[in-house]
Chains A and B, each alone.
Chain A
């Protein structure tokens, strides 16, 4: 059974940084792309970042490019999201997703971790 467990959320001041983690189990982690998607309170879904199975390539929308960095440790079956220069509009629940072997498709989702950016 695919399991994704996100941690690291919390309350952070605007302009500060936060790093999220997602521990994966139930599948061969280094065979799959992985992604982060977020959902602001009461709002819809927004794709945040994707990474290839090797970690060699990463992809972002303009809204987070240059501020967020996705990375992975295949030895530890762990996905990360480093978030810098946080803004109030980054307040959301962040979901880790397992994708396909060769593209981002959000096949499986974790339970999410809430990030609140506020002074």
Chain B
């Protein structure tokens, strides 16, 4: 199984700042990685697919990068509404596996 090691577990930032979330795969997954946002009390929503492609309607403040084993989600100009838990997912191979999540808090 491919383990997705996600960091940090939590972070606190101010509106207008830039933050990065990292995921490291235990083996190469090419670019078959997605990122999801889960706001409090809501179901997850896809932000990024195939490592770098924004899902329909996702603001360009959200950027995905990476290839092989190392992947990053960058949120630029953080807004208060970005308060959420962010998850990475590798869907290159069965079983599909998620990272453990990163909780973003807004100061």
Contact = CB atoms under 8 A, between A and B. Distances in A.
Contacts of A44: 87, 98-101
Interface stretch (A8-16, A69-77, A107-115): A107-115
A27 interface: no
Interface in A37-64: 44-47, 50, 59, 61-62
A106 B89 contact: yes
A106 B46 contact: yes
Interface string B45-56: 110010000010
Interface residues on A, range: 10 to 19
Contact of A108 (B46, B87, B89): B46
A105 interface: yes
Given A45-B87, A106-B89, A59 B94 contact: yes
Interface secondary structure of A, over-half rule = loop
Contact of A105 (B34, B44, B98, B100): B34
Given A45-B98, A105-B34, 20 more contacts: A44-B87, A44-B100, A46-B98, A47-B95, A47-B97, A50-B96, A95-B44, A103-B91, A104-B96, A105-B49, A105-B91, A106-B34, A106-B46, A107-B46, A107-B49, A108-B46, A109-B43, A109-B44, A109-B46, A111-B43
Interface of A: 44-47, 50, 59, 61-62, 95, 103-112
